[in-house]
Structure 1
Amino acid sequence: MRAKQALSIAGGLAVIGWPFAVWLAISYPKLRILLPCLALCFVLRLCALRGKTGALSQAFKGLALAGTVLTIASIWMREAQLLLWYPVVVNAVMLALFGSSLFTRMSLIERLARWREGDLPPEGVRYTRRVTQVWCIFFIFNGSVSLWTCLAGNVHWWTLWNGMASYLLMGLLFAGEWLIRLRVKRRYE
């Protein structure tokens, strides 16, 4: 169990540290030694997810595989700019995951809410569907800005957006949704 937790932590650090490691590898070519370490972190993330099922786990496996492939391709082709595309891939995969759930009986957020809360009233179902839609809008916006930073070719803007601003916006969205959820729950209780 501890080995799985260590693998999960290493994989999580790879995802969070990705923008800064990429910035260092592109800005300071002598630090491209970081690339094999990043590839290893993504492989460890894949190992930690082995045996897990479900749409979310499959998406995380796909993202770990994409990170591994981009990193190995960057090493092999000696082209670190390929690494800039990982946040675009992440946003596209998450948009596909959240968006496709809107065409099923239960949205992704509703599934997560039912896992935590059990049964949901009709108001809760509507609310979770709306939250799923908001996340889809976020992934479209964030992915578009990430794509723009890739195409602009300015690694400093790319790092600022993908290493800080997008995480801050995501945190604000989580916090804002949590506060709204508390109000909605109180209103219907």
Structure 2
Amino acid sequence: MANRVRAALFIALSLAYPLVVYLALGRFEPRWLALLLMALALLRALATRQPVWLAAAGGAAVLAALTTVFNDALPLKLYPALVNAVMLVVFAVSLRFPPTVVERIARVSEPDLPARAVVYTRRVTQVWCVFFIFNGALALATALWTTDRVWALYNGGIAYLLMGALFAGEWLVRQRVRAAHRHE
């Protein structure tokens, strides 16, 4: 139960992170906002024992420390790019060492995936890798070269809409692929 609560809190804080940072930047020094990033790092570290997620928590802790030392908002704004980089690594490594992330998720509801479905999940994992490259590059660009407002708008809104569109698009494609294979 405690793990679920930590996971839910982590997800909620992660989703709200860009908006919270944006709203707080004019009111608090960046070093105080580093506490939010440290909370995310701590929750991530407590929620998992997997090396990649522990490395992500370490990366967030480094960004928080840089924010604290230099009292600068840039490290805070780099967190969404870090998240995309970690997700890219997780998905890409699963391509090299199957089963892929998407296959593992699919097997939760359908343990006996046919071979064609495994091929499909591999392709979906590749699409997500491309998404994480694209989204991470935009997260980095907004952190480095745009205003706080544009950064928050992209990372706290547009990126989620793009992710939702990818989920919805994949679901539609999957329904068509399933229907086509039912008629074979």
- TM-score, normalised via structure 2 length: 0.86
Name the counterpart of 2:91: 98
Structure 1 residue identity aligned to 2:157 = M
Deviates more, 1:28-37 or 1:118-127: 28-37
Q: 1:111 aligned to 104, 111, 121, which one?
A: 104
Q: 1:140 aligned to 111, 126, 133, which one?
A: 133
Q: Secondary structure at the match of 1:102?
A: helix
Structure 2 residue identity aligned to 1:100 = V
Cα distance per residue 1:111-132 (max 9 Å; x no partner): 2222331122222122111111
Name the counterpart of 1:43: 42
Structure 1 residue identity aligned to 2:162 = L
Q: 1:60 aligned to 53, 64, 75, which one?
A: 53
Offset of residue 142 of structure 1:
0.5
Q: How many residues align?
A: 182
Cα distance per residue 1:49-86 (max 9 Å; x no partner): 35xxxxxx543333333223322331232112211111
Q: 2:168 aligned to 163, 167, 175, which one?
A: 175
Residue identity over aligned pairs, in percent, reads 42
Name the counterpart of 1:130: 123
Offset of residue 41 of structure 1:
4.1
Native 8 Å contact 1:63 1:89 kept in 2: yes
Which stretches in structure 1 are left out of the alignment for 5+ residues?
51-56
Native 8 Å contact 2:102 2:121 kept in 1: yes
Which stretches in structure 2 are left out of the alignment for 5+ residues?
none
Counterparts of 1:92 and 1:106 in 2: how far apart (Å)?
20
Deviates more, 1:133-142 or 1:28-37: 28-37
Offset of residue 162 of structure 1:
0.5
Counterparts of 1:157 and 1:166 in 2: how far apart (Å)?
12
Native 8 Å contact 1:35 1:71 kept in 2: yes
- TM-score, normalised via structure 1 length: 0.84
Structure 1 residue identity aligned to 2:48 = L
CA RMSD of aligned residues (A): 2.2
Say if 1:6 and 1:105 are closer, same or farther in 2 by CA, change over 3 A.
closer
